[in-house]
């Protein structure tokens, strides 16, 4: 019988009582995407700049990992035009968007096919420690250097150390839920 282990070698408990050691298939991609659509996630623009070029993309798979060291994780589809540029530059800024930035999120998601240079035009962008673009009216920005990238299925999991933050906006966040933009309210 094969014993499944964690990354540090600790044994995982069995998922079910499988007497023959057979593997359990994961749910279908459609079932998984449908289930994921019920999660409410913050909407961010991940931006990078450096020797590999300037790029940015909308991302809803972003999460804090640790406060010591300050670490974030972002999951990026390997087919994204920004993927290899982020990897090549080794820096990224995660710009969490306020509710008023729905249209900006759409532009960085590729709607309207706005050229990358035009997406970063104007005075709304600046830089922090790494030189990656920081959106001045972001809800919060995490300026990071890439620590590790792990390929998992169709995506890369980017693990990044936070070198600087900016919190210019004090407003409601832009979130994504059931394939629609929304925001939050206090209960």
Distance CA 13, CA 5 (A): 9
Distance CA 90, CA 69 (A): 17
> Mind listing the pLDDT tens digit for each residue in 77-124?
999 999 999 999 999 999 999 999 999 999 999 999 999 999 999 889
Read off the pTM: 0.84
N-to-C CA span, the chain: 49
Closest-CA residue to 47 (of 34, 62, 36, 58): 58
**Whole-number pLDDT of residue 37:** 85
Distance CA 5, CA 12 (A): 5
Average confidence (pLDDT) over 173-181: 91
> Mind listing the pLDDT tens digit for each residue in 119-170?
999 889 999 999 999 999 999 999 999 999 999 999 999 999 999 999 976 8
Structure tokens at 102: 């729905």
**Whole-number pLDDT of residue 38:** 80
Closest-CA residue to 104 (of 185, 164, 112): 112
Structure tokens at 25: 């298939």
What domains lie within the chain, and their CATH numbers? 40-182 (2.30.110.10)
pLDDT bracket for residue 17 (50, 70, 90): low
**Whole-number pLDDT of residue 149:** 96
């Amino acid at each position: 019988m094969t014993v499944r282990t964690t990354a540090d070698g600790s044994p995982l408990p069995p998922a079910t009582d499988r007497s023959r050691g057979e593997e359990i298939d994961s749910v279908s991609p459609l079932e998984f995407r449908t289930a994921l659509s019920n999660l409410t996630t913050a909407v961010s623009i991940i931006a990078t700049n450096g020797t590999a070029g300037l790029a940015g993309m909308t991302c809803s798979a972003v999460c804090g990992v640790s406060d010591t060291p300050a670490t974030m994780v972002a999951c990026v589809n390997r087919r994204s035009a920004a993927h290899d540029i982020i990897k090549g530059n080794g820096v990224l800024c995660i710009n969490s968007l306020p509710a008023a930035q729905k249209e900006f999120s759409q532009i960085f998601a590729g709607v309207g096919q706005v050229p990358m240079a035009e997406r970063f035009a104007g005075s709304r962008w600046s830089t922090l420690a790494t030189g990656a673009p920081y959106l001045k009216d972001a809800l919060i920005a995490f300026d990071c250097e890439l620590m590790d990238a792990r390929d998992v299925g169709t995506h890369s999991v980017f693990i990044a150390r936070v070198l600087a933050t900016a919190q210019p906006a004090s407003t409601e966040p832009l979130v994504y839920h059931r394939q629609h933009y929304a925001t939050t309210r206090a209960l």
